[in-house]
């Protein structure tokens, strides 16, 4: 989940690399570095500058040690092997070869032992340094950098996106991809305003969008040589191949903060639009997914949802929606657990990966395994043409637009919209098998569609309560722990509310199914443990109210998320955040929004780095 950028052209590379790294910082931000080729008397030398900490530190280091080279690579790191120190920062270097890497080299210990025997000296604790030495070693028997990289990746196991420059090959950058994202940006004078040819490489398109909208996606196993004339690519079988060029249509301004203090706050406020776009993408009149032909589970088949983190919470809601609406058995797995528990896949099962980035390594591996075991695969992704989107048989895009904040918000609610639409679609194809009355089904579908269409304005009205939520947040910002309770669809909402709070405020927070309280967590309740209760109208409401009473009678302070017009709740809770009434099956989409705001304002009050919380990265591309 590190960020990679590379540039080769006629412009000074350093500012372009720094600009790209700033855009990629959400992928990791514990250290950063660049390696830029400089020509002195025509003999190229490497100008390598690295700094521990955020990119601002690298900027300062480069100011003290400037370079006007026009050919370089850069990296922002999220530590896996070796702490976040300057020595462990990329690029790593060996005999004129500089390498930046995203991923994990699983057999690095064996490779390191062999390279040490061969006389190479290691300067870092990283797995990446073996790659620099492998390539330097391969260059002793291969004159072309491309071949040396091919020979090196053939010895590696694990995942990599690599970007390599070499003093002996000053006209090229060689890149390689296997199970980690990487794309090439081709010369685009219209976007950059520069007529002279140039080429970029980056982990994701946001890093280069100001300079090119013409990108080439690499496949797993590809090695590519980039020169100012373009890219020459070989595939896993060493055959020369061409890859599709695509044009990026989304707007770079969408990735800027537009006046909000943080990307997270901006993205929370973008939810009405993101949801509207998701609906527009998939609903035409009264028809949902009208031109799509997703795989259907066989009469004894199941739907298996695979995801991590926030996307897993969306998948938990998806299970309930699919079972209740379509009466198809559904299971949810944490993607990181799925492939290690020898899962049973039967003929007619369909597996759905849910992922904002479409690059999460655990989810990618899980859906690959489900497919290998015979499930038909589908994904719900936000990032177009991401690895998961490309790997699965079909994809439902969420159209949330770029999500920059590490804490996921609009991706979550649009995933819930996509899962709701999919459940209604599936119900339309399975209800006759279940003996459901068609009239009743159609009526339910109409009611759900009406609520779905109203979601953007419903969420606008929730956002209008931001100041009240901010006031409530101030009252709770100094607590140490917080409990979140919900039942049915309110349970994943509680889990998600707790995850949001802990990841950005560093407060300890737990989500619990409210009926589970009495089986243990109730022991925690006292006046120092505020409890957020999802108490919106719907099935289970009365039982949630009983659980709320249990909290109160033990001295707990309650913040309730309740439906407007609920008069009893104000007698029971210290603070109430009201949300508009809605179909109970869609209430999670609405009830999640005030919890996002509550977490945001508490974190802001505590002065944390909201968009880039410590230890986290936006896209977790390592297992």
Catalytic sites, residue numbers: 2, 618
Closer residue to ligand M6R (CB): 451 or 505: 505
CB of 276 closer than 8 Å to CB of 457: no
Closer residue to ligand M6R (CB): 499 or 545: 499
Strand partners, 231: 226
Among 70, 98, 310, 431, indicate the residue that binds ligand M6R (CB under 6 A).
310
Which residue number is nearest to ligand M6R in terms of Cβ? 309
Closer residue to ligand M6R (CB): 309 or 540: 309
CB of 26 closer than 8 Å to CB of 49: no
Instruction: Supply the minimum distance, in Å, between the C-beta of residue 300 and ligand M6R.
Output: 29
Cα–Cα distance for residue pair 236/609, rounded to 1 Å: 41
Beta-strand pair 303-307/350-355: parallel
Closer residue to ligand M6R (CB): 366 or 513: 366
Interaction between residue 511 and ligand M6R (CB under 6 A): no
Candidate segments 226-234, 292-300, 404-412, 539-547, binder of ligand M6R by CB under 6 A: 404-412
In the 3-class helix/strand/coil scheme, how is 155-170 assigned residue by residue? CCCECEEEEEEECCCC
Residue 68 CB partners (closer than 8 Å, separation 6+) = 12, 14, 38
Candidate segments 117-125, 138-146, 305-313, 474-482, binder of ligand M6R by CB under 6 A: 305-313
Closer residue to ligand M6R (CB): 115 or 314: 314
Asked, as a colleague might, if the bond just before 326 is cis with ω within 30 of 0, I would say no
Virtual CA dihedral for 151, 153, 156, 157, nearest 10 degrees?
A: -140
Candidate segments 105-113, 307-315, 444-452, 463-471, binder of ligand M6R by CB under 6 A: 307-315
Q: Which stretch of DSSP H or E encloses residue 468? A: helix 466-476
Interaction between residue 311 and ligand M6R (CB under 6 A): yes
Mask of contacts with ligand M6R, 475-504, x by CB under 6 A?
------------------------x---x-
Residue 370 CB partners (closer than 8 Å, separation 6+) = 304, 306, 338, 343, 345, 349, 351, 377
Residue 141: C-alpha distances to residues 111, 112, 121, 129, 148 (Å): 18, 20, 20, 20, 8
Among 620, 621, 622, 623, indicate the residue that binds ligand M6R (CB under 6 A).
620
Among 31, 356, 392, 587, indicate the residue that binds ligand M6R (CB under 6 A).
356
Candidate segments 21-29, 62-70, 355-363, 520-528, binder of ligand M6R by CB under 6 A: 355-363
CB of 570 closer than 8 Å to CB of 436: no
Instruction: Supply the minimum distance, in Å, between the C-beta of residue 486 and ligand M6R.
Output: 18
Instruction: Supply the minimum distance, in Å, between the C-beta of residue 116 and ligand M6R.
Output: 35
Q: How many amino acids of this chain bind ligand M6R (CB under 6 A)? A: 16
Candidate segments 49-57, 357-365, 390-398, 465-473, binder of ligand M6R by CB under 6 A: 357-365
Candidate segments 57-65, 66-74, 293-301, 303-311, binder of ligand M6R by CB under 6 A: 303-311
Interaction between residue 406 and ligand M6R (CB under 6 A): yes
Closer residue to ligand M6R (CB): 572 or 598: 598
Among 46, 137, 180, 357, indicate the residue that binds ligand M6R (CB under 6 A).
357
Interaction between residue 408 and ligand M6R (CB under 6 A): yes
Candidate segments 97-105, 158-166, 190-198, 406-414, binder of ligand M6R by CB under 6 A: 406-414
Among 363, 413, 563, 612, indicate the residue that binds ligand M6R (CB under 6 A).
363
Closer residue to ligand M6R (CB): 299 or 340: 340
- Concatenating the DSSP letter of every residue in 485-552 gives EE-TTHHHHHHHHHHHHHHHH--EEEEEEGGGGGGTGGGG-STT--EEEEE-SSTTHHHHHHHHHHHH
Instruction: Supply the minimum distance, in Å, between the C-beta of residue 353 and ligand M6R.
Output: 8
Q: With DSSP H G I counted as helix, E B as strand and the rest as coil, what are the percentages for the chain, rounded to 5?
A: 40, 25, 40
Closer residue to ligand M6R (CB): 98 or 311: 311
Interaction between residue 355 and ligand M6R (CB under 6 A): yes
Interaction between residue 387 and ligand M6R (CB under 6 A): no
Among 16, 183, 268, 308, indicate the residue that binds ligand M6R (CB under 6 A).
308
Residue 206 CB partners (closer than 8 Å, separation 6+) = 23, 24, 252, 255, 402, 404
- In which region does residue 374 sit, left (phi positive, over 0), alpha (psi from -120 to 50) or beta (all else)? left
Integer distance in angstroms from the first to the last C-alpha of the chain? 10
Cα angle value 470/455/386 (rounded, 5°): 90
Cα–Cα distance for residue pair 226/71, rounded to 1 Å: 11
Alpha helices in 155-298 (DSSP H): 189-192, 263-269, 271-282
Alpha helices in 139-262 (DSSP H): 145-153, 189-192
Interaction between residue 587 and ligand M6R (CB under 6 A): no
Residues contributing to the site for ligand M6R (CB under 6 A): 308-311, 355-357, 360, 363, 406-408, 499, 503, 619-620
């Amino acid at each position: 989940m590190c960020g990679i950028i590379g540039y080769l052209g006629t412009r000074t590379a350093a500012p372009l690399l720094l600009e790209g790294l700033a855009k990629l910082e959400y992928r990791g931000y514990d250290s950063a570095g660049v390696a830029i080729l400089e020509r002195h008397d025509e003999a190229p030398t490497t100008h390598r500058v690295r700094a521990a900490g955020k990119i601002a530190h690298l900027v300062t280091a480069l100011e003290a040690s400037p370079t006007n080279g026009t050919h370089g690579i850069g990296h922002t790191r999220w530590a896996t092997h070796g702490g976040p120190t300057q020595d462990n920062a990329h690029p790593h270097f060996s005999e004129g070869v500089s390498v930046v890497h995203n991923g994990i080299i699983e057999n690095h210990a064996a490779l390191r032992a062999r390279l040490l025997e061969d006389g190479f000296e290691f300067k870092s604790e990283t797995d990446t340094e073996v790659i620099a030495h492998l390539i330097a070693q391969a260059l002793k028997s291969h004159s072309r950098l491309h071949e040396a990289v091919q020979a090196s990746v053939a010895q590696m196991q694990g995942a990599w996106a690599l970007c390599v420059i070499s003093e002996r090959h000053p006209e090229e950058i060689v890149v390689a991809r296997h199970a980690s994202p990487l794309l090439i940006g081709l010369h685009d004078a219209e976007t950059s305003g520069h007529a002279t040819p140039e080429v970029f490489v980056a982990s994701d398109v946001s890093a280069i969008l100001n300079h090119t909208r013409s990108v080439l996606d690499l496949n797993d196993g590809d090695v590519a040589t980039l020169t100012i004339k373009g890219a020459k690519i070989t595939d896993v079988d060493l055959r020369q191949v061409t890859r599709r060029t695509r044009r990026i249509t989304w707007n770079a301004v969408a990735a800027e903060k537009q006046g909000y203090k943080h990307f997270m706050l901006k993205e929370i406020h973008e939810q009405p639009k993101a949801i509207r776009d998701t609906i527009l993408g998939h609903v035409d009149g009264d028809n949902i997914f009208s031109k799509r032909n997703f795989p259907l589970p066989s009469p004894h088949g199941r739907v298996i949802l695979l995801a991590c983190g926030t996307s897993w919470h969306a998948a938990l809601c998806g299970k309930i929606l699919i079972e209740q609406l379509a009466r198809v058995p559904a299971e949810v797995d944490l993607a990181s657990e799925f492939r290690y528990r020898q899962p049973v896949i039967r003929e007619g099962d369909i597996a759905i990966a849910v992922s904002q980035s479409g690059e999460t390594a655990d989810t990618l591996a899980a859906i690959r395994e489900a497919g290998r075991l015979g499930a038909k695969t589908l994904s719900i992704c936000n990032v177009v043409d991401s690895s998961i989107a490309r790997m699965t048989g079909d994809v439902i895009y969420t159209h949330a637009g770029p999500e920059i904040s590490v804490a996921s918000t609009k991706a979550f609610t649009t995933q819930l919209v996509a899962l709701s639409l999919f459940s209604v679609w599936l119900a339309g194809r399975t209800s006759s098998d279940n003996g459901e009355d068609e009239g009743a089904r159609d009526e339910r579908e109409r009611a759900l569609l009406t609520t779905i269409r109203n979601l953007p304005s419903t969420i606008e009205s929730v956002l209008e309560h931001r100041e009240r939520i901010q006031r409530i947040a101030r009252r709770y910002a100094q607590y140490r722990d917080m409990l979140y309770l919900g039942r049915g669809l309110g349970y994943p909402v509680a889990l998600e509310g707790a995850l949001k709070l802990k990841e950005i405020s560093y407060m300890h927070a737990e989500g619990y199914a409210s009926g589970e309280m009495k089986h243990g967590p109730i022991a925690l309740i006292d006046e120092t443990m505020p409890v957020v209760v999802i108490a919106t109208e719907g099935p289970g409401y009365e039982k949630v109210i009983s659980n709320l009473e249990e909290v109160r009678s033990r001295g707990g302070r309650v913040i309730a998320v309740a439906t407007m017009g609920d008069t009893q709740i104000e007698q029971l809770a210290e603070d109430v955040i009201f949300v508009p009434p809605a179909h109970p099956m869609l209430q999670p989409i609405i009830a999640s929004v005030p919890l996002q705001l509550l977490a945001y304002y508490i974190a802001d009050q505590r002065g944390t780095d909201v968009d880039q919380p410590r230890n986290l990265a936006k896209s977790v591309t390592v297992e």
